[in-house]
């Protein structure tokens, strides 16, 4: 199939649209052209042509994980700054994915919660029952955080539940 007959890629997912807008915004904030960004990516060892950079910004080219890391490094931002909307308002609702979560619910949340999740501060979904919340938070820390950070965060989680117990709340497990 020639390039002339190949249908154009059109990015429709939230993350892809965010990457497109954020790459353009940050590139322009640096005062760089698409040629400048492409040159810097090539120098960094991840060549992406100027036309491919323009396609990313027009939502006509997908960015894979390696591209995302390279763009983040060259633009000097964390990957979340490219993946997420610029908004972190607690009142803005974000549809993270078009489908359903495994529990059947919508995959939507406030922009503020989305940033907290992306920064590794909270799990995306809370446990449905309060008594399961400690276990869910423990599993999140164990699976999503590196061991050293996880240990510090687990200690903080235990302190939080210990304080609840001392205040007479019985909605969580005993940590003694």
* pLDDT of amino acid 23: 98
* pLDDT of amino acid 13: 82
For the chain, 176 residues long, give each residue's pLDDT as a single digit of tens.
Answer: 555 666 677 777 888 999 999 999 999 999 999 999 999 999 999 999 999 999 999 999 999 999 999 999 999 999 999 999 999 999 998 887 766 666 566 678 889 988 998 888 888 777 666 667 788 888 888 888 889 988 988 888 888 888 877 776 555 555 54
Dihedrals phi, psi of 55, to nearest 5 degrees: -65, -40
Looking at the domain that runs over 14-83, which CATH code has it been given?
A: 1.10.260.40
Residue 77: strand pairing partners: none
Q: What pTM does this model have?
A: 0.77
Own/partner long-range contacts of 107-115 (Cβ < 8 Å, ≥24 apart):
111/84, 111/85, 111/87, 112/88, 114/84, 114/85, 114/88, 115/80, 115/84, 115/88
The structural domains of the chain, with segments of one domain joined by +, span: 14-83, 86-122, 126-176
* pLDDT of amino acid 62: 93
Q: What is the pLDDT of residues 117-161, one digit of tens each?
A: 888 888 877 766 666 778 888 888 888 888 998 898 888 888 888
């Amino acid at each position: 199939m020639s390039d002339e007959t190949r249908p154009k890629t059109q990015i429709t997912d939230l993350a892809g649209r965010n990457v497109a807008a954020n790459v353009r915004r940050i590139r322009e904030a640096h005062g760089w052209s698409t040629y400048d960004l492409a040159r810097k990516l090539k120098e960094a060892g991840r060549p992406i042509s100027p036309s491919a950079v323009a396609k990313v910004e027009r939502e006509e080219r997908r960015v894979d994980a390696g591209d995302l890391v390279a763009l983040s490094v060259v633009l000097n931002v964390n990957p979340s700054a490219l993946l997420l909307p610029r908004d972190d308002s607690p009142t803005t609702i974000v549809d993270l994915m078009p489908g359903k979560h495994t529990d059947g619910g919508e995959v939507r949340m406030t922009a503020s919660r989305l940033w907290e999740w992306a920064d590794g501060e909270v799990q995306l979904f809370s446990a449905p029952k309060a008594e399961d919340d400690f276990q869910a938070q423990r599993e999140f820390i164990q699976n999503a955080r590196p061991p050293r950070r996880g240990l510090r965060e687990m200690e903080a989680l235990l302190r939080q539940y210990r304080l609840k117990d001392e205040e007479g709340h019985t909605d969580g497990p005993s940590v003694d």
